[in-house]
Structure 1
């Protein structure tokens, strides 16, 4: 199950992913100048979040102004869907904020329509790249340009509920193949039933496009090419979904009807499943939803498709981008550098935006127990980390949601695997050719 915020985010992608944005003039200056400390500058800054994040940004802006008192920042925030609805309206009229929190799913759409400033001339100059790895910098690249600087990262992972597992009497998943994972889930489900506990080993992992991506990357293929073409066949998708046929039918995984009853929570944060495959920055939300009695979660690597494969990658929790039409590109780049790289930023935000991507910010961040687990996890999967896939195609959110919907229907038994494959490829044909 997707948590509520993720569902809302997906809905926003579905709603606007297919629209064409009005192109704007703008681009990169031929030479980068430093900020004139005597020039009074006002920058607009937009982000998604809540009152807690807003207070952190205000604290960061105050620290920034100690060094750059001539730069005034006017900030605003909305929840995730409303944030992108407003950006869509602004983009059509050429009035995007100077600096924005940015989501990876929109980077190609906005950059290819000329709406974002190419940051290439600023990286290594105003924007310090010494604390950012090549992999981190590459995340913001579309074509020959760099249109976003990653603030923080996450990676695909498996969460385990050690408290519930101890109650059931089964050890956590010790690693292995996807078949091993299925067998472990069955062991947990059977043990829970024997003790009269309503719990399952997990959910149907074939309902998540990220697990399909993981298996394709283990074969050396991203889901989509740099040119936006599908990099998998109907047979590939059919084989993937068929891996879930047995666990859907034999009761190993939580029933879909039970999942629907739990909405807006899912099986994992309702303490009904002991494992969940998801991005590693979901932990704090899970713990908050689980509430009293569940003080910690374990974080382990997903099952292995092929030993030695570089199937995992670091994904940006968010990026910072600059409008192509900003009147103050140097000041905007200076602000981005501060929010990404400065020790003050790391100390103020901690892991609110995810695990800091900049080494200087990360070293300054005070990590709580669970944030340290995330940091340790990302370090532990170094041997499985490969290059990030190409920036998501325009309309990726639509396909992600379609994949989820078809996974739900497979669990309800309202479609066959063959029918699901046909429906997904039909949807993909529309998205790729719009």
Structure 2
């Protein structure tokens, strides 16, 4: 029988007590990987963030895993995003993470570099198959060459745009292979045409505080955002150059006003048809289609940069095993199942991102022309553009990213100048990394 759904601190305390007693230092003393035992009863704990829909899908997949492994029982829990990381932090303090945890790329270093996550390389070829996962995507779960997390879904940064609204404005989308200057010109053209539309239409929100795009832009400039040992590698001049890139559009009031965006919440300018485009993860497009209530949204890749394509896969959802697990081989087998089994792809579809393996993508039942099928086609077309490994963020980058967005909003409201934005955010970055 699986655990009842727990949340927040209650879940954290329950698991900390139970797992500390049960697991001890089993992961550290487990020795080399061996095929999963079929001679003993094994209980694994598995935690993820998400909603009821994701939980229902995970439970269906786990039922199949347990059918394949009759001696293994998987106990489950899930929380909303913020509560999830609060619970994991509490468990980590007692070296008692669940046997398998859903992991985010922004937290790999925080938990992997501090000895909380199992090193998975020894499981590869025994209980874990990663041959079907793109090598550059695998790098996002590695620290100094050691694998601590396996991507089970992928996405990339993109421009999600309303093709019908753009047609109403009489503006064409950028041509294939467009660059950063082309993007800025396109935004200006949309703003000019949108000013004559009733109601007024804007091209996009202010890009200055968009951290994922800043990281992608750095990579395209040939700059690694972070060092292998978990320090920042970008400079204050890099931040200044990024802010300068968007200054002409900001000064010309091309961007969607922050005040109006706040008035629309929880809706966005995109699904209110007041904004043509949003720069975000491509896997959000089907969700936006549902919110918009019409199938008018399409995807554009990010600009390609001066030296070529230089895109990278972002691991939307990853899975890790606890270093304190008493059953590291079974934990690896569960990760393998969630990564590779076609039935898991059939159950989840694109609900947690595009599956990282072809076998799971092939198992999805997709209608021709549907948002999900367009998303898959987009990522298939992007493969040739993905040439770089995803940067592994420094510890605490979630807070750094949130502060970038907050300070950018202060600029939009006229409370900070661009130079103050650069000074304050870079100082915050340095202080946060120094304290971690």
TM-score by length of 2: 0.89
User: What corresponds to 1:255 in structure 2?
Assistant: 257
1:378 offset after TM fit, Å? Answer: 1.9
Pick aligned residue for 2:185 from 180, 183, 186: 183
Q: Deviations over 1:344-395 (max 9, x none)?
A: 1111111122111022222212235222222222222233312224421101
CA distance in structure 2 between the aligned counterparts of 1:67 and 1:309, rounded to whole angstroms: 42
1:44 offset after TM fit, Å? Answer: 1.0
1:422 offset after TM fit, Å? Answer: 1.0
The answer on whether the counterparts of 2:49 and 2:79 sit within 8 Å (CA) in structure 1 is: yes
The answer on whether the counterparts of 2:199 and 2:274 sit within 8 Å (CA) in structure 1 is: no
Say if 1:28 and 1:105 are closer, same or farther in 2 by CA, change over 3 A.
farther
User: What corresponds to 2:299 in structure 1?
Assistant: 299
The answer on whether the counterparts of 1:28 and 1:121 sit within 8 Å (CA) in structure 2 is: no
Q: Deviations over 1:20-44 (max 9, x none)?
A: xxx9784474322112223111111
1:132 offset after TM fit, Å? Answer: 2.2
Q: Which runs of 4+ in 1 moved over 3 A?
A: 23-30
User: What corresponds to 1:126 in structure 2?
Assistant: 127
User: What corresponds to 1:98 in structure 2?
Assistant: 99
Higher mean alpha-carbon deviation, 34-43 vs 272-281, is at: 34-43
The answer on whether the counterparts of 1:139 and 1:388 sit within 8 Å (CA) in structure 2 is: yes
CA distance in structure 2 between the aligned counterparts of 1:24 and 1:388, rounded to whole angstroms: 33
CA distance in structure 2 between the aligned counterparts of 1:55 and 1:373, rounded to whole angstroms: 25
Instruction: For residue 97 of structure 2, give the secondary structure of its aligned residue in structure 1.
Output: coil
Unaligned runs of 5+ in 1: 1-22
1:207 offset after TM fit, Å? Answer: 2.1
CA distance in structure 2 between the aligned counterparts of 1:415 and 1:182, rounded to whole angstroms: 23
Say if 1:305 and 1:129 are closer, same or farther in 2 by CA, change over 3 A.
closer
Say if 1:214 and 1:28 are closer, same or farther in 2 by CA, change over 3 A.
farther
1:170 offset after TM fit, Å? Answer: 2.4
Pick aligned residue for 2:292 from 290, 293, 297: 290
Q: Deviations over 1:267-308 (max 9, x none)?
A: 2222211011111111122123222xx213111111233141
CA distance in structure 1 between the aligned counterparts of 2:142 and 2:122, rounded to whole angstroms: 13
User: What corresponds to 1:17 in structure 2?
Assistant: none
The answer on whether the counterparts of 2:295 and 2:371 sit within 8 Å (CA) in structure 1 is: no
Higher mean alpha-carbon deviation, 188-197 vs 389-398, is at: 188-197
User: What corresponds to 1:308 in structure 2?
Assistant: 308
User: What corresponds to 2:154 in structure 1?
Assistant: 153
Instruction: For residue 152 of structure 1, give the secondary structure of its aligned residue in structure 2.
Output: strand
CA distance in structure 2 between the aligned counterparts of 1:286 and 1:386, rounded to whole angstroms: 28
The answer on whether the counterparts of 1:98 and 1:323 sit within 8 Å (CA) in structure 2 is: yes
Higher mean alpha-carbon deviation, 166-175 vs 102-111, is at: 166-175
Alignment of 1:9-28 (within 5 A): 26-27=27-28
Alignment of 1:30-41 (within 5 A): 30-41=31-42
User: What corresponds to 1:325 in structure 2?
Assistant: 324
TM-score by length of 1: 0.89
User: What corresponds to 2:220 in structure 1?
Assistant: 218
User: What corresponds to 1:359 in structure 2?
Assistant: 358
Q: Deviations over 1:99-129 (max 9, x none)?
A: 1111111111111111111111101221112
RMSD: 1.9
CA distance in structure 2 between the aligned counterparts of 1:334 and 1:254, rounded to whole angstroms: 47
